[in-house]
Structure 1
């Protein structure tokens, strides 16, 4: 049974990973998190709750080799859920893991769009830091096993409302019963819900021989924007007003966003990739790790209606 240490445990994705690890704690020897002094202070309540649940909390500087190596002494599996702004710093975490004899497996922060989906993926701007991490592993890691969990976009955020002029990025507004769909509305997208993200990590940990030094391509469900609207209409009992951002218009807005150094430029590119079909595969890998029982579109929409989720924001993917 694994001894698991999580980086980015209190972030958008990390909290779901830790929650699922705790739900399956009998499958693990121990669960710990590594967090910064600032996070330990600003999220003191959340950190204390984790401590009360038996999570070992290591407070330190991710840039300090000594502090990271000290934490590594207690674990054999490292799970990274650092945000997009810290992706590049994983190379140091991986280098230190490679030199730590007790650490045998590393899960980089990959959750989301497949950065090696097609030959053109290598030129996509949002992929560059994740690609650099994969290249670092290929060139420098000989002992450590790595697994990339590729999930496609988070359904919970995709089904959210985008404010004001950002609505042309795709938006679902339950209060106004309005939706802005990308493309023609008939392009399927492969989604993963955030609760399922944690379940998929646990499933992978329980099947350590699957996804060794490679990508696990998993999801919760696949749906088109039109199917999503239909489910919102069904659950709200009302007809929604629907408008569209055609693919060519989305491409124009994407280019403009990068030219203007818009902090949301990454979101434009990712949504264009999804609309073009960049999340679709002939088959997914859920069955290889006994993870077929995933949440459905119906469940995801129901949760979106309860939470009135905001859409993607810069740095969340």
Structure 2
């Protein structure tokens, strides 16, 4: 059996990053996490970092803005995975430069983990963010850095509790009323963060996904809002009162709402009006579907994920 690649995760204490660090360590990859020294002074982060150490993760101290520490960290690994947040997307050019200087990395996975930004039909603040991710894709390709882009679609941690609507502060599905965009028939894709990490670990040493897009589109998780609401209604034995929100109303909310709320409304517009995740078919010359490629990964269906809230 081939030796598993050594993996460096940058942004590992962020919302999604922790799942990637944990998934890497649990899958048997020698795992490294690049952290700022100030991170461990935060009590919540310190607890998370201790959890990493308990899994055997190697903690490296450095910063995306400190070129020397970045190169030093990268030289110790085979694969670099970035999970930096939206505010640091363009800073990934510094990671690309460090990878080029180090000269040893066999694959880079930039901070994508959403929809296919090259095929997005989003508007407003969502489009602005996706443009940044598109710029990083082009920078990776121009630099000749080997890559895989992972399109995880919607994170279940955000979208399951809100029944497919990305709103701040909704952490348990409604039991009385629910808002539905347009007619509720546009399909989206929702995956648990742990499953995305598991599929990512499968791809890092797989030559078939080199310089390709990995789409995490498991069939049981491709649902419309109406379908997910029906699943929830069946579980709680109750019919929710439904309010249908038109595209015009949503566009007005995007225009009139302050940040970051306008971003979430713009994201909802992309997902549930434009069908950003499902309007196209995967082009086999550039992309592969994760659940077909790795059928041994047992993913959690949306139906199963809703059980935790009953």
The TM-score, its normalising length taken from structure 1, stands at 0.84
Aligned partners of 1:232 and 1:177: how far apart in 2?
Answer: 11
The residue number in structure 1 matching 2:147 is 146
Once the two structures are TM-superposed, the CA of residue 2 in structure 1 deviates from its matched residue by 0.3
Determine if the alignment matches structure 1 residue 124 to structure 2 residue 127.
yes
Structure 2 gaps of 5+ residues are: 283-287
Q: CA RMSD in A?
A: 2.6
C-alpha spacing 1:172/1:77, structure 2 compared with 1 (3 Å): closer
The residue number in structure 2 matching 1:313 is none
Match of 1:285 among 289, 296, 299: 289
Once the two structures are TM-superposed, the CA of residue 10 in structure 1 deviates from its matched residue by 1.6
Cα deviations by residue, 1:154-199 (Å, 9 ceiling, x for unpaired): 133112249xxx9989978546432212221111112222121111
Aligned partners of 1:291 and 1:255: how far apart in 2?
Answer: 45
Aligned partners of 2:98 and 2:169: how far apart in 1?
Answer: 41
Alpha carbons 1:203, 1:291 under 8 Å: kept:
no
The residue number in structure 1 matching 2:185 is 186
Q: Secondary structure at the match of 1:268?
A: helix
Alpha carbons 2:26, 2:55 under 8 Å: kept:
no
Alpha carbons 2:89, 2:111 under 8 Å: kept:
yes
Aligned partners of 1:91 and 1:84: how far apart in 2?
Answer: 14
C-alpha spacing 1:167/1:157, structure 2 compared with 1 (3 Å): closer
Alpha carbons 1:105, 1:145 under 8 Å: kept:
yes
Structural mapping, 1:3-18, within 5 Å: 3-18=6-21
Aligned partners of 2:60 and 2:168: how far apart in 1?
Answer: 39
Q: Secondary structure at the match of 2:12?
A: coil
Match of 1:300 among 302, 305, 310: 305
Cα deviations by residue, 1:17-67 (Å, 9 ceiling, x for unpaired): 122222211xx2x10100112222211121112112210001222211111
Aligned partners of 2:71 and 2:246: how far apart in 1?
Answer: 50
Equivalent pairs, count: 293
The residue number in structure 1 matching 2:107 is 105
Once the two structures are TM-superposed, the CA of residue 132 in structure 1 deviates from its matched residue by 1.4
Alpha carbons 1:126, 1:266 under 8 Å: kept:
no
Alpha carbons 1:31, 1:55 under 8 Å: kept:
yes
Aligned partners of 2:8 and 2:268: how far apart in 1?
Answer: 32
The TM-score, its normalising length taken from structure 2, stands at 0.86
Cα deviations by residue, 1:142-162 (Å, 9 ceiling, x for unpaired): 2x2111101211133112249
Once the two structures are TM-superposed, the CA of residue 292 in structure 1 deviates from its matched residue by 6.2
The residue number in structure 2 matching 1:201 is 200
Match of 1:95 among 90, 94, 97: 97
The residue number in structure 2 matching 1:34 is 34
